Structure 1
């Protein structure tokens, strides 16, 4: 590996900056070109220092370039940035030698159609959300899966999550945990006005379409935690699986279920 981009958590925190400086020095010592502060064209991997939000901020760009992300956890839970600081040097050395384990993660393509044509397109590693505005009023969303009408949701919105995103907003809204090797799309209504409106998994190969069933104001499309655009009457959101996944570098010292136990505070396993 000859070129790596380093991205650290934005703000005045010193710890991510010091970790990024140490990583840059180590990589340059190994003869690797380092670009700091942006995902540079021609880089072969991205190393992120921060929490999951920092990683999500660069995920779309990394996916566009087809390069994997190694996340060093300097934030909170760290489901995605799973490499602890004390393992950083070993992980970087394995990355440069091509010996690290890279896990493919499903990515969504969210397209907004408006006025008869495509108005916007986004990539989502975690989720795309159609959410109501600050007005205390429910929204009504018609939903189709694979061209077939699914249901009409009434509530605060709808989450369309990947298996990776199942541990994020989806989990807080009562959605299921989904193993990242399962290619499925999770539809989880937000505070639905019906006890029968439950989360549902659909095959990842299906296109899911969402539209407002009636005129509403202040509705937004939020992709990976960032407000992207207003979702207006007549708009259609079409969500599909991207043609290729995004690679995330895994820690060799912990598996998916260990991470769940650690992050969610589940009962420890034998010998832990």
Structure 2
């Protein structure tokens, strides 16, 4: 059991307004009746004016960094993408996340918008458990120096910029070459991300408890290139062979980085970088697979 929660930050799906016209006022009023201090990011001010149809907003408006340090709990209203966006910018001491699914899929958002109040009430009392979701690190190296980096929860995708056409990359560990790939690209996926883009590209479903990382070629120009699952202790290096132009590295579909031909990508799993999600005790992994993806049904 944790301490009672008094400060709650609310993070909304980007840009949406209509979706929140009812649920957000109801949620904030529900929290106020329980004497909870409510925090929003200051850059949400205009959207809050439109949702509440008033300029007299009586919430705490802070920077996103301040929200991570001032709040004891973050509530996300959106889908998996909203939650992942928060996770990717989390800090060392960021509070746990209570994910409310506003859409239809919601694989890692644990709670339904139709029935979260009882669970949230228990969380506010300190009656909850969390599980840690690891973040993976992608770094751009130039002459072995890091020039840019970012984190991902689901996947890092390497693809061609500009006109869609086949290109070549080489994949290596610290000690040896994995293979040289010619095709449309590569998905480097976490076990949690194995049910996202990687699954659509023919990759395996990997249980989140497996300490692995998935390499899944996109339309490889060879019958012998199959998805691989490596231990997550490996660092993976992706290089552009001579003659190729720049490529794109996309993290969780939210951040795109241009990689020049004199640079390489290193992907690894930092030992202590993770985000905490509040557990839904009614939600089981294989049941979720069946409900969301019709897994195993005839």
State how far apart, in whole Å, the 2-side matches of 1:93 and 1:28 are.
12
Counterpart in the other structure of 2:267: 239
Which of 285, 288, 296 is the equivalent residue of 1:259? 288
Q: Mapping of 1:32-43 within 5 angstroms?
A: 32-37=36-41, 39=64, 40=67, 41-43=69-71
State how far apart, in whole Å, the 2-side matches of 1:84 and 1:216 are.
46
Counterpart in the other structure of 2:7: 3
State how far apart, in whole Å, the 1-side matches of 2:91 and 2:211 are.
17
2:200 matched to 1:172? yes
What is the CA deviation profile of residues 210-249 of structure 1, one whole-angstrom value per residue up to 9, with x for unaligned ones? 1112343351110010242111112111111123222122
Q: Secondary structure at the match of 1:128?
A: strand
User: What is the deviation of 1:73?
Assistant: 0.8
Q: Secondary structure at the match of 2:105?
A: coil
Q: Which residues of structure 1 form unaligned runs of 5+? A: none
Residue pair 1:16, 1:50 contacting (<8 A) in 2 also:
no
State how far apart, in whole Å, the 1-side matches of 2:266 and 2:30 are.
44
What is the number of residues matched between the two proteins? 269
Q: CA RMSD in A?
A: 2.0
Residue pair 1:46, 1:62 contacting (<8 A) in 2 also:
no
Judging changes above 3 Å, is the alpha-carbon distance between structure 1 residues 173 and 268 closer, same or farther for their aligned structure 2 residues?
closer
TM-score (normalised: structure 1): 0.91
What is the CA deviation profile of residues 136-175 of structure 1, one whole-angstrom value per residue up to 9, with x for unaligned ones? 3211111112432111111111111111111111111111
Q: Secondary structure at the match of 1:170?
A: helix
Greater Cα radius of gyration, structure 1 or 2: 2
State how far apart, in whole Å, the 1-side matches of 2:285 and 2:20 are.
25
Judging changes above 3 Å, is the alpha-carbon distance between structure 1 residues 31 and 148 closer, same or farther for their aligned structure 2 residues?
farther
Residue pair 2:246, 2:261 contacting (<8 A) in 1 also:
no
Q: Secondary structure at the match of 2:237?
A: strand
Q: Secondary structure at the match of 1:87?
A: coil
Q: Which residues of structure 2 form unaligned runs of 5+? A: 42-62
What is the CA deviation profile of residues 96-155 of structure 1, one whole-angstrom value per residue up to 9, with x for unaligned ones? 122223121121011111244211111111111111124232111111124321111111
Counterpart in the other structure of 2:73: 45
